[in-house]
Structure 1
């Protein structure tokens, strides 16, 4: 299982170009999800684990985001809208499935989004 601590800026999620093409596309996927969510987003949880079928191999990801700010509800709606058809740039992988598992207001302000994604190695 891979976890990501989001204390580093998003520019540090993906380093060394082609070296980052390695096994886990989670950092690159997180960077794109953060960009999609806009300002004032916190990655509360991000984990991935290996996944395989008879013909493919990849990784299953579980991600929880918290949006803050006065426009959090609008940003959550925009984030959720069309996420299944969104294009993702993951060198060496592609997103085979992505879905919103839960999406709700946070008591005290903000919005909560939980999602899952399946990435497959592209060979």
Structure 2
């Protein structure tokens, strides 16, 4: 037979926080800052995100496709990429651990670039 302490109730239990939903998704803020950095008209063609974790950190790996059109397309792309590695990003509860160019080119008179970014939850 099992006994139970009557004074040990639910309020006395320690609970772990849900690790799946800590903080907001950093991608929308990162996209907004990338668009401000590139200038108008820049189009986000698509994005993908997937969870990422190491022994000490958790975050997300993002792939971002941007398209630039018009007479200033190449200048916009160059403006975006100039100093991208050293750029400061404002992502409450997160930081950008890595951002890099995965590909770039020209298609149908538009200039495009594919970026890869790793955002980490800032404990």
Q: Which has the larger radius of gyration?
A: 2
- What's the counterpart of residue 61 of structure 1? 62
- What's the counterpart of residue 23 of structure 2? 22
Distance in 2 of aligned mates of 1:69 and 1:76? 12
- What's the counterpart of residue 121 of structure 2? 121
Distance in 1 of aligned mates of 2:93 and 2:112? 30
Instruction: Name the one with the larger helix percent.
Output: 1
Describe the SS at the equivalent of 1:54. coil
Deviation at 1:23, TM superposition (A): 3.9
- TM-score normalized by structure 1? 0.79
1:13-49 deviation line (CA, Å, top 9, x unaligned) = xxxxxxxx82421111111111111101111111111
Structure 1 runs of 4+ aligned residues shifted over 2 Å read none
Distance in 2 of aligned mates of 1:105 and 1:48? 24
- Alignment of 1:82 with 2:83, yes or no, is yes
Distance in 2 of aligned mates of 1:37 and 1:77? 8
Describe the SS at the equivalent of 2:96. strand
RMSD: 1.2
Describe the SS at the equivalent of 1:66. strand
Distance in 2 of aligned mates of 1:114 and 1:80? 11
Which 5+ residue runs of structure 1 have no aligned equivalent? 1-20
- What's the counterpart of residue 73 of structure 2? 72
Asked if 2 retains the 8 angstrom alpha-carbon contact of 1:73 and 1:105, the reply is: no
- TM-score normalized by structure 2? 0.79
Describe the SS at the equivalent of 2:48. strand
Distance in 1 of aligned mates of 2:25 and 2:52? 11
